[in-house]
Structure 1
């Protein structure tokens, strides 16, 4: 699952459901003349 960095509400919600931050993709998303980092999150069955 990918989340735009700065969207703390989404990150906190996904963490509540067991997702963990796996990494950050720097300057991956471009919108309105600006690049944004993407937070990569995942959930592994059994963890």
Structure 2
């Protein structure tokens, strides 16, 4: 995991919300659940 405040926030929110990354990706309108994994790890910045 990359040391990023946003990645930390995303990881904590995912843990709290109780949904799978696939469910969160679908709810957010992302076509692939790996986007959530990349946000969580800090590999990708959130889209604007």
Larger Rg: 1
Choose between structure 1 and 2: higher strand proportion: 1
Choose between structure 1 and 2: higher helix proportion: 2
Q: TM-score, normalised by structure 1?
A: 0.29
